[in-house]
Amino acid sequence: MASARIENIMTDWLICRNLIRLVVTAALVAYSVMASPPARAASTSVVTDVPGLVDVVKATPYSHWLAAWAETDSGAHTLWVIDANNGRLQEVTSSSHPGGFCWIPRKEKLFYCKATYNDELKNYRVFYYEYDPLTQESRKITDVRDVLETFKLDPLSAEDGSLVLHITFDNLNTSFGSGTIPTIHYYYPDDQSMETKPANANIGADFDLASDGLMLYWPLYDENTGDLLFVGWDTIKNEETWNARYYSYNNPADGGGMLRVDSPNQNIALLVQSNVQPRMQLCIYGWQGRELKAPIPVFLEVGEEILDYDWIGITGKLYAVIVKTQPGTGGSASQQFNLEEIDITGVRSVLVSSTDPFGFADYAPGAGYYYYSVINRQGSAPRSLIIRVQP
């Protein structure tokens, strides 16, 4: 197991996450296919005002609860749960090492983790919890070791709420020899039990779970040939059972990351880069049975960049947060932040266009709403507005 490669991938993920924050922060300080994507009528409203700076807002797919970590000026982090119906806040926990979190679909409970750092052992102790917004109580599930910072990655959940999956790395597990070993944690909400299994897998920080929870996918690049390989990991057998190879001469992209899986429609989206076609930022790869579909590239305009994106339920469409930078006079530049919907042919529709920076968005398929956060410019202490978008 090449632990150096894993650490590099994790570093790349942290850099990517921080770059998005830098884009948003820089815009605060400084203040595709279609040449001009059409705007579509979408109403926005403020759900509530949260103390601290919020990057990511997570919505329950089929209910009215939201969750977000917020950071204060002192560097402290508080996890909040928000009732989207009335804007009321519930303080869940606080931590100097906040971890990933996700809602468990159809259970309406929040799965989250946080960590403490042991300076002597140079590792993290990660604590997993399940929070019920109705009782406003957290229940500890278990605690594990993490030698990297992979606990910051968000866990993934099956659509029916039967499984939540999270990955950490442990250098003491010798099941598959020495080195940094990925460990997959399978949490089963119905039984309130977690299984921790080491994985003999070349997996990094870029992966996604099928909607039924039966398969975990991630991309790999062959350094010798440049081929793109998608790996499918069976979550029941805890082993690789599927893969698909796109040879370099059939792949329009040179590299990519931030994988998103639409398993019902057998599509995988990947943010990409291309030396030949620099406007290409997204590519959709698909399969039908054992046959691979031709990749579908999506092009943006010059100066545009995708900050965040995901599939819109099982519609076969994507949503994306896109920032467009326009150079001005004297070295100045202006930025516009859009929330857009994109179909697999690349046709784009703008839902929100704002000069208020935001880098992430989440979609709740039950109500059909989007949620994101922006900085509240009123007052001296940092606060965040949680915004709801109704297409």
Collapsed DSSP state (helix, strand, coil) of residue 174: coil
Contact, 253 vs 295, CB < 8 A? yes
pLDDT at 368 over 70: yes
Write down the mean pLDDT value for the chain: 88
User: Average pLDDT of 289-301?
Assistant: 90
Concatenating the DSSP letter of every residue in 48-79 gives EEEESEE---EE-TTSSEEEEEEE-TTS-EEE
Per-residue pLDDT averaged across 310-338, rounded?
Answer: 91
- Provide the pLDDT confidence category of residue 74 given band limits of 50, 70 and 90: confident
C-alpha torsion sign, points 139, 100, 58, 90: positive
Inter-residue contact 370 to 319 (CB < 8 Å): yes
Q: What is the 3-state secondary structure (H, E, C) of 115-143?
A: EEEECCCCEEEEEEEEEECCCCEEEEEEE
- From CA 75, how far away is CA 57, in angstroms rounded? 19
For the chain, how big is the Rg over CA atoms in Å?
21
Task: Give the whole-angstrom CA distance, residue 90 versus residue 83.
Answer: 8
Residue 230 binned pLDDT confidence (cut-offs 50, 70, 90):
very high
Q: How many CB atoms lie within 10 A of CB 63?
A: 19
Q: What is the pLDDT of residues 143-160, one digit of tens each?
A: 999 988 999 999 999 999
CB 322 within 8 A of CB 20: no
When pLDDT is averaged across residues 136-140 and rounded to a whole number, the result is 98
pLDDT of residue 391: 93
Average pLDDT over residues 3-20: 45
Return the number of other C-beta atoms located less than 10 Å from residue 95's C-beta.
17
Q: Are strands 362-364 and 383-390 parallel, antiparallel or unpaired?
A: unpaired
Residue 300 CB contacts under 8 Å (≥ 6 apart), including other chains:
32, 279, 281, 282, 306, 322
What CA–CA distance (Å, rounded) separates 264 from 57? 25
152's torsion region: left (phi>0), alpha (psi -120 to 50) or beta?
A: alpha
Distance of CA 334 to the CA centre of its chain: 26
Looking at the predicted structure, is the pLDDT value of residue 24 above 80? Answer: no
Query: Considering the entire predicted model, what is its pTM?
Result: 0.89
- Give all domains of the chain, ordered by start, each with its CATH number: 3-390 (2.130.10.10)
Quick one: which of 50, 59, 53 has its CA closest to 133?
Answer: 59
